[in-house]
Amino acid sequence: MIKKLGGTLRDNKKKVAIVTLVVLLIIIIGVSYAWLRTVIFGQEDVQIVVGDIDLVLNETSEGIQLVNVIPTYDDEGKKASPYTFSLKNKSNIDLYYTLSLVDDEEALANCQTTDGGSCELLDPRDIRYELKLGESTFTGSLADSSIISYGVIDATDTIDGELRVWLNINATNEAMGKVYLGQLKVFATQQVDGFDFQQGNDGVNAPEMDTNMIAVRHDGYNWVKTDEDNGWYNYGMGIWANAITVKSDKLQEYISAPVGTEINMDDVETMWVWIPRYSYTIGSENGSSYYGKRGVYLSSNPTATLPGEIDVKFIGKDEKDTGTAKYLATEKPKNWYTPDAFTFGDEELSGIWVGKFETSSSDPLASYGGGNTTTLDPMIKPNVTSWRYINVSNIYQVGLKLSASGNRYGFSENMNSHAMRNDEWAVVSYLSQSKYGKLGNENFIGVNKEVYQNKSNEYITGCSYGSPSNGNTDYGCQYRYDDNIRTEDGMVGKGVGASTTGTIYGVYDMSGGAWEYVMGNYNDIVGNSGFEEPLTLDSKYYNKYTSENVSVACDGSECLSHGLSETSGWYSDYHNMVNVQYPWLLRGGHCADTTAAGVFYFNAWNFGNANSVGSFRLVMSVTSP
């Protein structure tokens, strides 16, 4: 794929000869057996930015043949003979590259089974890999991301690589007779002087964990215990850090368990996603409309219907930018702004923990998943009914319960649990619209860059409609949150496309599902929220807006980083500001919304009262003890 990013450019697309890697597997599962053929082709695919670049993929291995193998544990898979190759930068400039393992559509079209039938592709969850490239090692499942490596290669430098591929230990008889046909794909752009591409985890503040929290990763089938030494997170690949809490009588068991231990979802009470501190700026291609930059993710200039990339750079806790958050996309990103969500009271934060799903309650059989009460305890899990029909006052009280003294979860009081503020919603949506979120996930193109909607009329957390469509309500749950299998139309990610990363590691239910009340209020008007007049909340728990005009809603100024004026109407999401009559803000839309739901949706339709389609989300701001 060749794209032009401004300046005087000369297209130069080069293909190199390929050496085929053939992995021939005999799967024996129970009494069944079948042949599995895996072919990985090499392909160079170069992007030209300013001037010519020349990055060559040299495949030096003659291939691997594995015979009589069975689904394999990672420790054994990593012992297999490697497929070797190298990346050589023949340019006189540094290059930023990504290396992907993608489907080879041409090979699939020509593939036939031994009986002459058409080949059927393996579920990406069945393919596990380890890639060693230079000094870096990447291990994962193709269900995580098709990107298996990324980085900067210096001018005239060569990086050697080793790739090992094996069958996931959890592969079932459904893998019988299926094939994986793929190719290595190299994508390269010029490394611009003075600009840090922030690949991977560079600059990412490590998640601040409480003693009751367990770091987890997904092995393609199940959540398993992990840690930083075992690939917990990689923001460059859309793998945001996830953590859980479990029932109190199971905590010590999991704390003592080794890395790789499967997490029983029946033991889980809450699931969290880490949003690291960052600064952002929004580009304009024409100097007037700020819809983000075209970058490498769009084939046309950004519009409100299909917005472009929000530039993001991760920063330390002691850094804070106060620019205008706007720049001309033909220039280097500048005028950075650090979102208000990374400030809690007077304390600057290294990041925040966000509830992975809409909140549910400790009584899954309760009316509306919980109802208008504070007697139940909050839970954050997939595949359950979200807690609805609760007013804003009770939402606020429930939000404080997780880190209150003597809480059931084991959180310390410095975790500062609370109902999500509006600016905290926005900080997740902005990251999703960056190269670290779904926008940067190459498994999705065009309109599918938008986070898919949850259209479940049963308000099941984590559901996906399989597209960003505003179509009819889905009666049930068409695709579950962990559904990453291929469908008849060849698409992957029907379920995970509803997360903010397009992988299982993102935040769900931010498009559709239930309306989500956020703590965003117009001029301290209580309405029917259940609060007493006048509203006397500590300012760290809510955002106060003083104008119905989003351009001057923050005491006469634009509300930078709040997902209001800056991203109003992106993806054609509905937008309506709080006002005297409707003082409480709603985000995301809901399953039956006839207007456009989405992560940039905001509305002031309600009074803050209990509503059958109104839910909420929880956040933890980690402050000093």
Q: What is the DSSP string of 296-350?
A: TT-SS---SSS--BEEEEE--TT---BS-SEEETTS---S-B--GGGEETTEE-S
With 90 as the cut, is the pLDDT of residue 337 above it? yes
Rounded to an integer, the average pLDDT of 55-59 is 72
CA distance 32 to 36: 13
| Residue-level pLDDT at 292 | 97
Backbone angles phi, psi at 551, to 5 degrees: -70, -20
Task: Confirm whether 198 is domain-assigned.
Answer: no
Residues 157 and 305 in one domain: no
3-class SS at 189?
Answer: strand
Residues 569 and 625 in one domain: yes
Nearest to 272 by CA among 202, 215, 339: 215
Q: Quick one: pLDDT band at residue 4, thresholds 50, 70, 90?
A: very low
With 80 as the cut, is the pLDDT of residue 392 above it? yes
Q: How crowded is the C-beta side of 279, counted as CA atoms within 13 Å?
A: 21
CA distance 435 to 278: 13
Query: Can you read off the two tokens belonging to residue 317?
Result: 């806790």
Residues 316 and 173 in one domain: no
Please state the length of the chain. 625
User: Taking CA 32 as the corner, what is the angle to CA 26 and CA 35, rounded to the nearest 5 degrees?
Assistant: 25
Task: Confirm whether 204 is domain-assigned.
Answer: no
Rounded to an integer, the average pLDDT of 443-451 is 92
**DSSP code of residue 75:** H
| Residue-level pLDDT at 335 | 98
Share of the chain above pLDDT 70, in %: 86
Domain count, the chain: 2
Tens digit of pLDDT for each residue in 110-167?
777 777 777 777 788 888 889 998 887 888 888 877 778 877 888 889 999 898 888 8
Task: Confirm whether 202 is domain-assigned.
Answer: no
| Residue-level pLDDT at 69 | 54
CA distance 340 to 321: 11
Q: Which residues pair with 566 in a beta bridge?
A: none
Task: Confirm whether 11 is domain-assigned.
Answer: no
**Beta-carbon count within 10 A of 105 CB:** 11
Q: Quick one: pLDDT band at residue 61, thresholds 50, 70, 90?
A: low
Residue 499: which domain range?
Answer: 213-231+247-522+530-625
Residues 105 and 251 in one domain: no
Residues 283 and 185 in one domain: no
Contacts of 259 (CB under 8 A, 6+ apart): 224, 225, 226, 227, 230
With 80 as the cut, is the pLDDT of residue 194 above it? no
Residues 227 and 173 in one domain: no
Q: Are 186 and 97 in contact (CB under 8 A)?
A: yes
Residues 259 and 182 in one domain: no
| Residue-level pLDDT at 44 | 41
Residues 574 and 507 in one domain: yes
Task: Confirm whether 386 is domain-assigned.
Answer: yes
Q: Are 556 and 546 in contact (CB under 8 A)?
A: yes
Q: Quick one: pLDDT band at residue 490, thresholds 50, 70, 90?
A: low
Residues 285 and 173 in one domain: no
Task: Confirm whether 99 is domain-assigned.
Answer: yes
Q: Are 563 and 602 in contact (CB under 8 A)?
A: yes
With 50 as the cut, is the pLDDT of residue 6 above it? no
Task: Confirm whether 465 is domain-assigned.
Answer: yes
DSSP code string of 45-103: -----SS---EEEEE--------S--SB-HHHHTTSPPEEEEEEE-SSS-EEEEEEEEE
DSSP code string of 103-126: E-HHHHHH-B-TTS-B--BPPGGG
Task: Name the more confident of 337 and 483.
Answer: 337
Residues 186 and 217 in one domain: no
With 80 as the cut, is the pLDDT of residue 313 above it? yes
With 70 as the cut, is the pLDDT of residue 191 above it? no
Rounded to an integer, the average pLDDT of 610-620 is 96
| Residue-level pLDDT at 488 | 55
Alpha carbon distance, N-terminus to C-terminus of the chain? 51
Residues 517 and 371 in one domain: yes
- Which of 125, 157, 190 terminates a domain? The answer is 190
Query: Can you read off the two tokens belonging to residue 90?
Result: 């023949």
Task: Confirm whether 13 is domain-assigned.
Answer: no
CA distance 353 to 623: 12
Rounded to an integer, the average pLDDT of 167-178 is 80
Rounded to an integer, the average pLDDT of 580-597 is 90
3-state helix, strand, coil in the chain (%, to 5): 15, 30, 55
Residues 183 and 316 in one domain: no
3-class SS at 354?
Answer: strand
Could you tell me the CA-to-CA distances from 308 to 271, 304, 446, 559 in Å, in that order?
Answer: 30, 9, 10, 20
Could you tell me the CA-to-CA distances from 260 to 2, 128, 246 in Å, in that order?
Answer: 40, 14, 16
Looking at 80-84, 127-131, 356-360, 526-530, which range is the least confident one?
A: 80-84
| Residue-level pLDDT at 135 | 80
Q: Amino acid identity, residue 239?
A: I
CA distance 494 to 487: 8
Q: Amino acid identity, residue 60?
A: T
CA distance 90 to 157: 7
With 70 as the cut, is the pLDDT of residue 66 above it? no
Mean pLDDT of the chain: 84
